[in-house]
Chain A
Amino acid sequence: MAVEFTFEFPLPLGLHARPASFIQEKCESFPGEIVWENLRTGKRAEGRSAISLLTTDTRQGDLCRVVVKGHGEKEFAAEFQSFLLEELPVREEKALRLEPEGEAIIPEILRLQKEVFFVGYPSSPGIAAGKVIHARRKPALAKLISGREGIAGEPGEEISRLKRALEVLREELQKEISEKEGAEKNILKAHLSLSSDAALLSRVEELIRKENAKAESAVVRAVEEFSQQLLQTRTQLIRERVADLQDLALRWLEKMGVRVKSGEPSEWPEQFILVAEDLLPSEFLSYRPGQLLGLVLEKAGQTSHTLIMARGRGIPAVTGVCEAGRLISTGEEVIIDGNRGVVVVSPGEETQNYYRREVEAERALQQIRQKKASLPGVTADGKKIEVAANIGHPEELKKAWDDGAEAVGIFRTELLLYGKATLPAEEDQFVLYRKVAEEAEGRPIIIRTFDIGGDKPIPSVKLPEEPNPFLGYRGIRIYKEYYDLFRSQVRAILRAAAFGNLRLMFPMVALVEEVIWLKEQVKKFAAELESEGQTFNPALEIGIMLEIPSVALLADKFAREIDFFSVGSNDLVQYFFAADRGNPQVKYFHQPLNPAFLRLLKMAIDNAHAHGRWVGLCGELAGDARLTPVFVGLGFDELSMSSAFIPEVKSVLNRLKQSDCQRLVERAMESATAEENEKLLEEFYQEQFLPELIEPGLVSLGADCRSKVEVIQKLAIVFEQSGRVGSRAVFEQALWKRELDIATEIGFGLAIPHCQSATVRTPSIGVMRLQHPVDWLSREGQPVDLVICLAIPYGDKVRPKLQLLPKLSRKLIHEEFREALRQAKTPEEVVALIKSATG
């Protein structure tokens, strides 16, 4: 006798690792036999084996049959059914809620092509493809036991050896589970449930009995077999289970006396993509330029110094990719999409083509950028604002000038200390700073003295571990203890200042008396140099970082002591809102547009100006061109950023009027929330930059696109290049979202992809005539050869223009109009037709 029931699998993500282990756990409470059959895939599994359950490739809505056999089958079948349909979905929902929501954009092609991909935060823009290397590598299983295959003992002996090792391992795991919390605990629990997986254990025993395998090699073979099977399903959640399985096998082998140590770093390829849990700036800098193609990090956080450097060097990075180290193998080909926050593993041809087009688009954008880079740093009404670059190494100077930097707003000298066992001598520093001063050819360079501590530990300065380093012993606070370090650097800067336009800046100042002390020391060092007969410049400008709120509130007093301020926005925001910038759980507080923060800046800048001092901004924020009007309105005299952002900021700056920006900031300071100010800024853009609905650049006659994916991608690229949308990735996603509601193919060979999205800056119309009709993936499946793309932003200001779009839509119903569009010979003709239709 047996009892069976059929049900529809309820979980939205299908049967993946987590629910599979819940099911296994449930089935273990029943002594009889439980067979699971997926009626769609025809695959069967044993209920007590999570691994075999995973191989059934069960998705939401699949009809599954469960057969229960053994003592108490009727009761258990009923219990199991209600577990599957009621308890399991609740547990799954709970688990999903715990996973942080990403900001990633998943390009539709990855779903259409069923790619395996991982999602994280887009942390450094750009696209890279290459082979994966792990920063800390795990040994391959097969390698571990090579040379240990040997001759097996009695099967019975081997099996008891195996089981003893497993017992020890299980005890160890249980102990660890009781000590750990959160994600780590869950992983260990998964390992524990795997260690009693019925299918795995019976396969290992079978290999020993039937093939006379040694216990170690039986474990490796069984695990490899199951891993292969699981990887075939190409579901990314299942990769988690493969990684668990490999981890478990490693520990199991260890318990049988196999020495498990990290693999030797064999020959690394010329270029690679690095996968790591986290990467220290020193590790980042240890790679040769050009060697590192891209970064995949498990830890999140947009503003760590490694990422700032990655952005500076144009190396794409995706962070917050949970367990990337376990889930992506060495040597695998991946594509990193640093614009969207996605990592694609072993991409197929269509996806590779898609990314080739993305890379081309990046290149074209680059050319547009270069034009913008050559603009002067000045507003439309003549207010000069110095647009400068942030650098960490003299190597970066050339790129900075190429990107259009007019100065260096901050040279973060502590980056010179990373990876060095000893502190640099004054003479070495002098040679380096002098080189920088000379290479700048008169352009000003702000050298910030060493900012050590916090998130920037360096090997040559041993600072005590502290629970809260950001609020602790760092920056100038350590200068009294490390006086020689401070002295040699300031002396080197004073000497180098004789060879160019250097400025001196101190980090982490909180009190006026600190500045007084610093100035006394500078005077003392100058006197020393004087008496030694050295060449130096005693008149260089001295400034401080404005990164602690106390400086902002007391700017008038500080202004008497120094020549300039430079706002370190990341630290100022984090100190102001009491929210760690590296902690993804409090990322929400990173609110530069919050009116409280704007008021703070305005007050500081006004007070500085009243005393004839200038104020710059050298934090990451300065590079966000969307915020440029706010910074102009606040009265910043200088904006310094990763040089990659300079062209866009200059281009926006050139179109702004200072008076308009001041009005914007006055209103923004009266808001209550950052969100309100986001809206204000949006409206400001609409008022300032009001182009026509369509221009010839948005018309493409005879486009060579082979698929709907390509058409939508090209539209997104063209819109971005015209400056009408901020991010082609976001725009593309918005178009696809509408397509997935219902495809916008409307018959007559016409499709009207459209969207309303915050990334659209102004209502716009694009037209694309296709050489070859493409399948629009609509229900009726009619091919499309004419595509009209409508893009609209949010906000009331665009209303008058918005009203023109319905006119066009109505007109498109008429065959004469469509025919005219199809016959038009030039983009200008199309533009004229559209204008007449919307006029």
Chain B
Amino acid sequence: MKLVAVTACPTGIAHTYMAAEQLERAAKKMGYSIKVETQGAMGIENELEQEEINRADAVIFAVGITVQKPERFEGKKIFEFSVQEAIKNADGILQKIREEIGG
């Protein structure tokens, strides 16, 4: 399964990156490919290309604020969680996505 994700939180120096790290770790463990874009105090990093989004089986938003450049994700199936949830239970998030879209 191919996943893309965006993480973002109000200050954008801690939780944004922790959530990213957790999602990457959980995906690796389950054998999925994932690319996580962070929208933090340094702006957008590891930005998702339109092509990558198009190819993805699912989009994960782990955010506490509004996502920037949302038009890129139009028509995609988006799973939205809080940043906290991604940090505390990334495994559960991926589990849930697998159940919903199969794979």
Q: Which of B12-20, B51-59, B66-74 contacts A (4 or more CB under 8 A)?
A: B12-20
Q: Are A809 and B41 in contact (CB under 8 A)?
A: no
List the A side residues contacting B83 at CB < 8 Å.
742
Q: Are B40 and A806 in contact (CB under 8 A)?
A: yes
Given contacts A744-B15, A754-B13, A809-B15, are A802 and B22 in contact (CB under 8 A)? Answer: no
Q: Are A803 and B42 in contact (CB under 8 A)?
A: yes
Interface readout for B22-53 with A: 1 if CB under 8 Å, 0 if not?
A: 10010000000000001011100000000000
Closest chain B residue to A807 by CB distance?
B17
Q: Are A806 and B13 in contact (CB under 8 A)?
A: yes
From A738, A742, A810, A812, B84 is in contact (CB under 8 Å) with A742
Closest chain B residue to A806 by CB distance?
B17
Question: Which residues of A in the span 739-766 have a Cβ within 8 Å of any Cβ on B?
Answer: 741-742, 744, 746-747, 752, 754-756
Q: How far is the CB of A715 from chain B (nearest CB, A)?
A: 14
Judge if B88 is at the interface, Cβ distance under 8 Å: yes
Bound: A810/B18 CA distance, A: 5
Q: Are A747 and B88 in contact (CB under 8 A)?
A: yes
Closest chain B residue to A812 by CB distance?
B18
Judge if A387 is at the interface, Cβ distance under 8 Å: no
Q: Are A755 and B88 in contact (CB under 8 A)?
A: no
Judge if A555 is at the interface, Cβ distance under 8 Å: no
Q: Are B17 and A747 in contact (CB under 8 A)?
A: no
List the B side residues contacting A741 at CB < 8 Å.
10, 64
Judge if B11 is at the interface, Cβ distance under 8 Å: yes
Bound: A809/B88 CA distance, A: 14
Q: Are A809 and B17 in contact (CB under 8 A)?
A: yes
Bound: A63/B13 CA distance, A: 40
Q: Are B18 and A746 in contact (CB under 8 A)?
A: yes
Bound: A805/B18 CA distance, A: 11
Q: Are A747 and B14 in contact (CB under 8 A)?
A: no
Q: How far is the CB of A616 from chain B (nearest CB, A)?
A: 42
Bound: A754/B14 CA distance, A: 8
Judge if B21 is at the interface, Cβ distance under 8 Å: yes
List the B side residues contacting A790 at CB < 8 Å.
13-14
Judge if B87 is at the interface, Cβ distance under 8 Å: yes
Closest chain B residue to A798 by CB distance?
B41
Question: Which residues of A in the span 765-800 have a Cβ within 8 Å of any Cβ on B?
Answer: 780, 790, 792, 799
List the A side residues contacting B84 at CB < 8 Å.
742, 746
Q: How far is the CB of A812 from chain B (nearest CB, A)?
A: 6
List the A side residues contacting B21 at CB < 8 Å.
809-810, 813
Q: Are B14 and A809 in contact (CB under 8 A)?
A: yes
Bound: A813/B86 CA distance, A: 11
From A744, A780, A799, B14 is in contact (CB under 8 Å) with A744
Given contacts A803-B42, A813-B22, A813-B25, are A747 and B87 in contact (CB under 8 A)? Answer: yes
Question: Which residues of A in the span 668-685 have a Cβ within 8 Å of any Cβ on B?
Answer: none
Q: Are B17 and A810 in contact (CB under 8 A)?
A: yes
Closest chain B residue to A754 by CB distance?
B14
Closest chain B residue to A782 by CB distance?
B88
Query: How many residue-residue contacts, CB under 8 A, span A and B?
Result: 66
**Chief secondary structure at chain A's binding surface:** mixed
Closest chain B residue to A809 by CB distance?
B17
Q: Are A806 and B38 in contact (CB under 8 A)?
A: yes
Given contacts A747-B88, A813-B87, are A742 and B64 in contact (CB under 8 A)? Answer: yes
Q: Are A813 and B14 in contact (CB under 8 A)?
A: no
List the A side residues contacting B22 at CB < 8 Å.
813
Q: Are A756 and B41 in contact (CB under 8 A)?
A: yes
List the B side residues contacting A780 at CB < 8 Å.
88
Bound: A741/B82 CA distance, A: 13
Q: Are A746 and B15 in contact (CB under 8 A)?
A: yes
Given contacts A747-B88, A799-B42, are A810 and B20 in contact (CB under 8 A)? Answer: yes
From A747, A756, A813, B11 is in contact (CB under 8 Å) with A756
Question: Which residues of A in the span 211-251 have a Cβ within 8 Å of any Cβ on B?
Answer: none
Given contacts A738-B11, A741-B64, are A746 and B16 in contact (CB under 8 A)? Answer: no
Bound: A741/B12 CA distance, A: 13
Q: How far is the CB of A332 from chain B (nearest CB, A)?
A: 39
Closest chain B residue to A779 by CB distance?
B84
List the B side residues contacting A792 at CB < 8 Å.
13, 41
Q: How far is the CB of A743 from chain B (nearest CB, A)?
A: 9
Q: How far is the CB of B83 from chain A (nearest CB, A)?
A: 8
Q: Are B11 and A754 in contact (CB under 8 A)?
A: yes
Q: How far is the CB of A749 from chain B (nearest CB, A)?
A: 12
Q: How far is the CB of B80 from chain A (nearest CB, A)?
A: 15
Closest chain A residue to B40 by CB distance?
A806
Bound: A803/B84 CA distance, A: 22
Q: Are A809 and B64 in contact (CB under 8 A)?
A: no
Bound: A752/B14 CA distance, A: 7
List the A side residues contacting B11 at CB < 8 Å.
738, 754-756
List the A side residues contacting B10 at CB < 8 Å.
738, 741-742
List the A side residues contacting B25 at CB < 8 Å.
813
Q: Are A809 and B42 in contact (CB under 8 A)?
A: no
Q: Are B13 and A805 in contact (CB under 8 A)?
A: yes
List the B side residues contacting A810 at CB < 8 Å.
17-18, 20-21
List the B side residues contacting A799 at CB < 8 Å.
42
Bound: A744/B17 CA distance, A: 13
Bound: A678/B60 CA distance, A: 40
List the A side residues contacting B18 at CB < 8 Å.
746, 752, 809-810, 812-813
Closest chain A residue to B88 by CB distance?
A747
Bound: A792/B14 CA distance, A: 11
Bound: A810/B25 CA distance, A: 10
Q: How far is the CB of B40 from chain A (nearest CB, A)?
A: 7
Q: How far is the CB of A803 from chain B (nearest CB, A)?
A: 6
Bound: A809/B87 CA distance, A: 11
List the B side residues contacting A747 at CB < 8 Å.
87-88
List the A side residues contacting B42 at CB < 8 Å.
799, 802-803, 806
List the A side residues contacting B13 at CB < 8 Å.
754, 756, 790, 792, 802, 805-806, 809
Closest chain A residue to B89 by CB distance?
A747
Closest chain B residue to A757 by CB distance?
B11
Bound: A799/B83 CA distance, A: 23
Q: How far is the CB of B50 from chain A (nearest CB, A)?
A: 25
Bound: A738/B10 CA distance, A: 8
Bound: A756/B22 CA distance, A: 24
Bound: A780/B9 CA distance, A: 18
Bound: A806/B16 CA distance, A: 8
Given contacts A810-B21, A813-B21, are A802 and B41 in contact (CB under 8 A)? Answer: yes
Q: Are A752 and B15 in contact (CB under 8 A)?
A: yes
Bound: A611/B22 CA distance, A: 68
Question: Which residues of B in the span 57-103 have a Cβ within 8 Å of any Cβ on A?
Answer: 64, 82-84, 87-88
Q: How far is the CB of A543 from chain B (nearest CB, A)?
A: 50
Closest chain B residue to A810 by CB distance?
B21
Bound: A780/B85 CA distance, A: 11
List the B side residues contacting A807 at CB < 8 Å.
17
Interface readout for A807-837 with B: 1 if CB under 8 Å, 0 if not?
A: 1011011000000000000000000000000
Bound: A226/B47 CA distance, A: 64
Bound: A252/B17 CA distance, A: 66
Bound: A809/B9 CA distance, A: 13
List the A side residues contacting B9 at CB < 8 Å.
742
Closest chain B residue to A738 by CB distance?
B11
Q: How far is the CB of B86 from chain A (nearest CB, A)?
A: 10
Q: How far is the CB of A134 from chain B (nearest CB, A)?
A: 44
List the B side residues contacting A742 at CB < 8 Å.
9-10, 64, 82-84
Q: List 22 A-B contacts (CB under 8 A).
A: A738-B10, A738-B11, A742-B9, A742-B10, A742-B64, A742-B83, A742-B84, A746-B15, A746-B84, A746-B88, A747-B88, A780-B88, A790-B13, A792-B13, A802-B41, A805-B14, A806-B13, A809-B14, A810-B17, A810-B18, A813-B18, A813-B25
Query: 18 extra interchain contacts, Cβ-Cβ under 8 A, other than A756-B41, A806-B13, A806-B17?
Result: A742-B9, A742-B83, A746-B88, A752-B14, A754-B11, A754-B13, A790-B13, A790-B14, A792-B13, A799-B42, A803-B42, A805-B13, A805-B14, A805-B17, A807-B17, A809-B16, A809-B18, A812-B18
Q: Which residues of chain B have a CB within 8 Å of any CB of chain A? A: 9-11, 13-18, 20-22, 25, 38, 40-42, 64, 82-84, 87-88
Counting from the closest, the 4 A-B pairs by CB-CB distance are A806-B17, A810-B21, A809-B17, A813-B21
